[in-house]
Structure formats: structure tokens, C-alpha cells
Amino acid sequence: MKSAEYATDYRVQEPKMSVSNAAEFLGLTVQAVHKQLKAKNIVCPKIGNKTYINHDIAKQLFGLKFNQKVIAAQIVKGGTGKTTAIENVASCANTYGAKILKIDTDPQGNLTDANGVDAENYPVLIDVIKDDANIQDSVVSLTNSIDLIPSRIENVILDNVIVNEMLPLHSLYGDLLAPIIDNYDYVFIDCPPTMGQAVTAASLYADIVLAPLNPDKFSAKGLKILKKEIDVLNKRFKKKIDYRVFLNKFSAKTILSDKAIMSLISDPGLQGNLLETTVQFSQEIPNLTDDNKNLFSHLKKSIARSDFDRLTQEVLELSPTKVKKVQTKVKSKKRTRVAA
């Protein structure tokens, strides 16, 4: 793992949460949160004159106990926002104190580029599968709590190697990541818009397949193919792949968005799989991506950031009640010690 030096500017890549957002999540006033921080002797870093909460502080403030999950973003349609979803949900989860691994499996390497990493300097998945490198060497440290396994064009032969070497799809990712998986709370896999062997292996390994759906008929066709493929995999491997769909790039100004919502709501096949959160279209996202940043690289309030915050909480089941339970347990232990 390349941890001696971070691959990119640490302070730029570090996801940030404002104290007001932390207060909103906890259901407290800003003053109450500042009081908690002071009681814990926590000094927050600043951007200009604004203090913020990073991963390390979030762990102390929230004390959330995460259920380790693997989330694979995929749908058989390019441009739906898979990479954007992975990048922003992973970064948002980090602001709640989660340790993150992002894996780019797309030969185009969009997730790798979005993080400002030159994949030519590191081994990628195909190198690990062919035993030309170990998995630890492919891990790039972006911050002290976010790592990335990058991708480059050589990953285009992943499917061929899996078939020719007759690698087991049901255990491929589990075997590859076994030496490092326990280092992370969440693993996010960005898949290419195909249904090849590598994507199948990722689907079988994932706890959740996350599918962003755009309000257009081509995305709807892609979702239909995804649902059929998951049904096939469930029968073949005797699994129950859990998939979640959310409407992405929604615009209240377009009829297509309204039609897409009605179509999703009325689809009985999506019952239990459709997320409540809708992510609205925002030009801010591509602008930030061009600068190797995401919605959580700064403290600026925006509709897009709020949407992805809600999406993260829904997908990962993050709840302030978990914080309160943890804090209650801590207080109970203290009272027990005093009584003793």
C-alpha cells in the first residue's frame, strides 16, 4: 500500500462536514455540538474561519458502529452517474467516520481520474489476478481513511482472463480482497456498463448493487436488463442479490422526470428495491469532478450535496438513533463504575 505519501493533496481530498450538518444529523443545536466537541477536547480543523468535522473527529463525535458492507454500482447504460454516485456516497460515508475503500473496475478509469490518480504508477486488478502484483500494492492512499484501487485500460481483458483461467465468479472478489477487507467499514466498487464476468463477480460479492437510473427510456432498458440478470444469477448461484435503484439527474422542469417517477412507483417488480431519495441534476457535479473534487471536498451548501447526504444515510442505514444508543451505553458504563 502506498501510504508513505498520499497520491493527491490530502486536504483537498479529505471529505468535510460542517458543524451545522452534524447538528442536523444529531437533532441538536450547533451550540450543543460545540459543547460536545469541547467536552471531548476536540479541536476542529478550519477552512478560512469555518471549522469542520473530518473522519477522525466524526468517529469521536458520532461513535457510529458500522455494519461492513460492499456496494457495487452498476447498470447496463453508460452516463447514468455510477461513478458520481460511488464517489459522493463514499465521501459522505467518510464524514460520518467510516473507513473507505473505492475500487475502480472500469477500463476507462473514470473513478481513478476523478481522484487525480495516475494509474500508470500502480498495479490494477488485472495485475493482481495475473499474480503480477499483490492486492496490498494496488491500494492507493487518498487520505488517512480513504483508499483507492485504481483502474486503467489493461482491465479491459478482465473478462477474458476470468473465463480462460476458469476463475470462480462466486469467490473471485472475496479471494482477492481477503488480505485487506477487514481494514474497511465500506467497500465501493465502480463497475463498467456491461454484464461481463468481472461485473457478475462484483454483483455476487456485493451486499448491495446500487443502480442509478436517469429519466430516459434507455436507462429504463438498462434497468430491465439488470433485473433479469440478477434473477438469473440468483437462480444459478442460489443467492439473493440485494439491489437498490434511485432516480438520478432528476429535474422538476422536465416531463421525462415526472414520467420516470410514475413509472418507478408503479413498477411492482421494484417493490422494496426503490430508494426514496431522488438526486437532482446539478452542473456543480461535473464542474467539481474536472477539478478532482466532489460535493464533500468543501463546506458549501447545495441541493446536490443534501441529496447525496440523504442517499448515503438511506443506502447505508445511518441513523442518529445509533449514535444515541452508543452514547447511552457509554454513560451507563460510567454510572456503573461510579456505583461500584
Go through 96-114 and write b for each residue having 16 or more CB atoms within 10 A of its CB, e for each that does not.
Answer: bbbbbbbbbbbbbbbbbbb
Model confidence band, residue 256 (pLDDT cutoffs 50, 70, 90): low
Model confidence band, residue 323 (pLDDT cutoffs 50, 70, 90): low
Looking at residue 8, its pLDDT comes to: 57
Model confidence band, residue 260 (pLDDT cutoffs 50, 70, 90): low
330: pLDDT strictly greater than 50: no
Task: List the 186-190 sheet strands across, edge first.
Answer: 140-141, 146-149, 100-104, 186-190, 69-73, 208-213, 243-247
Model confidence band, residue 328 (pLDDT cutoffs 50, 70, 90): very low
pTM score of the predicted model? 0.88
Q: Is the dihedral of CA 232, 235, 237, 241 positive or negative?
A: positive
> Are 80 and 212 in contact, with CB atoms under 8 Å apart?
yes
What are the pLDDT digits (tens) for 226-251? 889 999 999 999 999 999 999 888 76
What are the pLDDT digits (tens) for 62-109? 999 999 999 999 988 778 889 999 999 999 999 999 999 999 999 999
Give me the mean pLDDT over the 333-340 stretch: 37
Question: Residue 200 carries which side chain, given as an amino acid letter?
Answer: T
Kindly list the distances between the CA atom of residue 32 and the CA atoms of 277, 299, 332, in Å, as whole numbers in the listed order.
Answer: 28, 20, 21
Model confidence band, residue 339 (pLDDT cutoffs 50, 70, 90): very low
β 208-213/243-247 pair status = parallel
Model confidence band, residue 224 (pLDDT cutoffs 50, 70, 90): confident
Least confident residue range of 23-32, 123-132, 199-208, 291-300: 291-300
310: pLDDT strictly greater than 90: yes
User: What percentage of the chain has pLDDT greater than the value 90?
Assistant: 69
Could you tell me which of 228, 235, 252 has the C-alpha nearest to residue 303? 252
Looking at residue 322, its pLDDT comes to: 63
